[in-house]
Structure 1
Amino acid sequence: MAAAKKKTPAPPNSEQMNSRVWLFSLLLTLQYGVQPLISKRLTSREVIVTSSVLTCEIAKVICALIFMARDGSLKKVYREWTLVGALTASGLPAAIYALQNSLLQISYKNLDSLTFSMLNQTKIIFTALFTYLILRQKQSIQQIGALFLLIMAAVLLSFGEGSKKGTSSGSSDQILFSGIIPVLVASVLSGLASSLCQWASQVKKHSSYLMTVEMSIVGSLCLLASTSKSPDGEAIRKHGYFYGWTLTTWIPVMSNALGGILVGLVTSYAGGVKKGFVIVSALVVTAMLQFIFEGKPPSLYCLLALPLVASSISIYQKYPYRVKKKDA
């Protein structure tokens, strides 16, 4: 009598995949939208930034390992994991993101918030470009139009945010070389890193949870190395790691950690371009939540951006690129 074959779980169909994409995108939009409010309300000014960031990365690792154990992939990863594979899939994007964050910090200090926010939105275009170059993922004419609608919405939201803050002062050379160029390079790097993460998950079949673990470990090691000479490192040595922490501090930290896992899932299932839609949509959510909980009405720019965001998402989903016979 022949041995019974083990049943393998059937791969999810397109409807299940679309449901997952919408669920992860919705959760990430809500997390991005809520995060500024809960961070502002629940995190004390005395909390050392490095301690909260490092704790968030550790929480990401723990949560990702729990999810991997729950779906049964942890044993497989344990057997098949290699350092070379980890560095190839996650090491390069992690290093790129670290460089991008450094450039953004330099740029933010030398540009007014409006200019910074508008230039920072160009990462959506670079993500679409690198997705095409690396994954050959083409966009339809309608989708390209939807991307420009999204950028218009982001620019309007940037105007609304920038009108509340002052402008920076400095020479034109300083603004160009220490402000505009760094943020544009950071946008290019953001698009490249996002496309590499999508390539690792979709082509190399690298689990999004595993990438979260690997990138969080790399980021934590870089952060720990920086504490040897940074002001935050000195503050931790003087006051202690959890200086200024309360029980409520854990809420935004854990929310941010879950958001990091959702970013990996959205990039894995939907791609880096759709992550851009999530980020811009979250800005609208933040404005609406500020009105509900703090009584701050959304600006005119936000109200104008809302239909643009809704239209761009609808058009992008409704008119995907159709593969022609000769392309297939």
Structure 2
Amino acid sequence: MERLPLANEDKTMSTNLKYLSLGILVFQTTSLVLTMRYSRTLKEEGPRYLSSTAVVVAELLKIMACILLVYKDSKCSLRALNRVLHDEILNKPMETLKLAIPSGIYTLQNNLLYVALSNLDAATYQVTYQLKILTTALFSVSMLSKKLGVYQWLSLVILMTGVAFVQWPSDSQLDSKELSAGSQFVGLMAVLTACFSSGFAGVYFEKILKETKQSVWIRNIQLGFFGSIFGLMGVYIYDGELVSKNGFFQGYNQLTWIVVVLQALGGLVIAAVIKYADNILKGFATSLSIILSTLISYFWLQDFVPTRQFSLSEPSKNCWLEKQCLFPWSHPCNNSYFLIWL
């Protein structure tokens, strides 16, 4: 009888953490998209910050955050922390090298998202980027031998229809030309490439997680290590001249650091969602983030005017979410939630 209050307390705590993590996910996703978009389109004197350097800084911050979490799991012992890092990373070089593939793809993806948000409004970006769910499903079937039923495939087709409505040309030819001049096609290609890279890298990472017993924090450190290397290569190749001329942190301001911190903390937030919530609730959290991004993009940034096609896409997405609730194709506590978001 004495265990009942403790069990109820643990259950209540787990429930609170579940909704807290989902709430933070909505805030983090919405804030990252809007601040990144705003920071890339804000007119300021002097050079604009380089997205390639922001990706590198975000990777380094993520490594630092994960090291702190491993330090906490090691009972705040520096000796234990050093032993864990040495045993799990240095003494297992082949396990560490496995993360080079998804890390390189994630680095490319992060740079593509900067390109996409520099050429698309936040709402269109958010909805189009949901195609990563479809690509993740396709790679899950081909790489993990997962089986999807008729309702699951139907729900994915409905989602694709909703995204197609968003990208449908408007009735105004003048507006269409203005959008073309604004490099919307470049942004669309960037976000589509990011969707495919997200699907492949995510499923590949899921396969690694299922085959090993290393913690998510250790895997994030390994990802961040290779991500920093690939990111620095990108800085040298694409922005080497600008960095040598104006410095690595050119154009950095308070808003830029907010973007970098939000991006670095993204993986940590999703890790919490994996532990305390489930895939269905995460889907609703992502949908809520899209709605919030749309409202803020319309009322605050004023860079998005909802069209009839965009309005038609929302019922399609809602129908897709309902089918996911009735016929979920992922089991609870599946690591694919983390990977779909990435």
CA separation of 1:188 and 1:291: change in aligned 2, threshold 3 A: closer
Which one-letter code corresponds to 1:143 in the other structure? Q
CA separation of 1:80 and 1:55: change in aligned 2, threshold 3 A: closer
CA RMSD of aligned residues (A): 4.8
Alpha-carbon deviation of 1:103?
8.4
* 2:70 corresponding residue in structure 1: 68
Alpha-carbon deviation of 1:198?
1.5
Which one-letter code corresponds to 2:69 in the other structure? F
Is the contact between residue 35 and residue 255 of structure 1 (CA under 8 Å) also seen in structure 2? Answer: yes
Q: Normalising to structure 2: TM-score of the pair?
A: 0.66
* 2:251 corresponding residue in structure 1: 244
Is the contact between residue 153 and residue 305 of structure 1 (CA under 8 Å) also seen in structure 2? Answer: yes
Distance of 1:197 and 1:268 partners within structure 2:
17
What is the number of equivalent residue pairs in this alignment?
A: 302
Alpha-carbon deviation of 1:157?
3.2
Distance of 1:300 and 1:283 partners within structure 2:
17
* 1:27 corresponding residue in structure 2: 24
Identical counterparts, % of pairs: 24
Distance of 2:154 and 2:179 partners within structure 1:
32
Q: 1:128 aligns with which of 121, 131, 137?
A: 137
CA separation of 1:19 and 1:146: change in aligned 2, threshold 3 A: farther
Q: Deviations over 1:226-276 (max 9, x none)?
A: 33343x222222222222222333112111111243356667888999988
* 1:318 corresponding residue in structure 2: 326
CA separation of 1:56 and 1:186: change in aligned 2, threshold 3 A: closer
Alpha-carbon deviation of 1:192?
1.8
CA separation of 1:182 and 1:321: change in aligned 2, threshold 3 A: closer
Which one-letter code corresponds to 1:166 in the other structure? L
The secondary structure found in structure 1 opposite 2:152 is helix
CA separation of 1:41 and 1:191: change in aligned 2, threshold 3 A: closer
Is the contact between residue 126 and residue 187 of structure 1 (CA under 8 Å) also seen in structure 2? Answer: yes
Q: Which runs of 5 or more residues in structure 1 are unaligned?
A: 1-9, 110-114, 170-174, 324-328
* 1:3 corresponding residue in structure 2: none
Distance of 2:260 and 2:193 partners within structure 1:
29
Alpha-carbon deviation of 1:14?
11
Q: Deviations over 1:142-170 (max 9, x none)?
A: 2222222222222233348996953379x
Does structure 1 residue 306 correspond to structure 2 residue 319?
Answer: no
CA separation of 1:85 and 1:16: change in aligned 2, threshold 3 A: farther
CA separation of 1:292 and 1:305: change in aligned 2, threshold 3 A: same
Report which stretch shifted further, 291-300 or 240-249.
291-300
Which one-letter code corresponds to 2:104 in the other structure? A
CA separation of 1:291 and 1:64: change in aligned 2, threshold 3 A: same
Does structure 1 residue 51 correspond to structure 2 residue 53?
Answer: yes
Is the contact between residue 108 and residue 179 of structure 1 (CA under 8 Å) also seen in structure 2? Answer: yes
Q: 1:197 aligns with which of 205, 211, 231?
A: 205
Which one-letter code corresponds to 1:303 in the other structure? S
Alignment map for 1:86-101 (pairs within 5 Å): 86-88=96-98, 90-98=99-107
* 2:335 corresponding residue in structure 1: none
* 2:147 corresponding residue in structure 1: 138
Alpha-carbon deviation of 1:136?
3.1
* 2:167 corresponding residue in structure 1: 158
Distance of 2:190 and 2:111 partners within structure 1:
9
The secondary structure found in structure 1 opposite 2:251 is coil
Which one-letter code corresponds to 1:83 in the other structure? P
* 1:219 corresponding residue in structure 2: 227
Distance of 1:64 and 1:164 partners within structure 2:
46
Is the contact between residue 143 and residue 316 of structure 1 (CA under 8 Å) also seen in structure 2? Answer: yes
Is the contact between residue 198 and residue 268 of structure 1 (CA under 8 Å) also seen in structure 2? Answer: no
Distance of 2:188 and 2:296 partners within structure 1:
31
Alpha-carbon deviation of 1:218?
1.0
Which one-letter code corresponds to 2:204 in the other structure? L
Does structure 1 residue 37 correspond to structure 2 residue 39?
Answer: no
Which one-letter code corresponds to 1:258 in the other structure? L
Distance of 2:263 and 2:235 partners within structure 1:
21
The secondary structure found in structure 2 opposite 1:241 is coil
Alignment map for 1:257-268 (pairs within 5 Å): 257-263=264-270
Alpha-carbon deviation of 1:222?
1.6
Distance of 1:163 and 1:32 partners within structure 2:
29
Alpha-carbon deviation of 1:56?
1.3
Q: Which runs of 5 or more residues in structure 2 are unaligned?
A: 1-6, 76-80, 119-123, 332-342
Distance of 1:182 and 1:243 partners within structure 2:
24
Alpha-carbon deviation of 1:316?
0.9
Alpha-carbon deviation of 1:285?
2.7
Is the contact between residue 54 and residue 223 of structure 1 (CA under 8 Å) also seen in structure 2? Answer: yes
Alpha-carbon deviation of 1:307?
3.1
Q: Normalising to structure 1: TM-score of the pair?
A: 0.69
* 2:338 corresponding residue in structure 1: none
Report which stretch shifted further, 214-223 or 294-303.
294-303
Distance of 1:210 and 1:93 partners within structure 2:
15
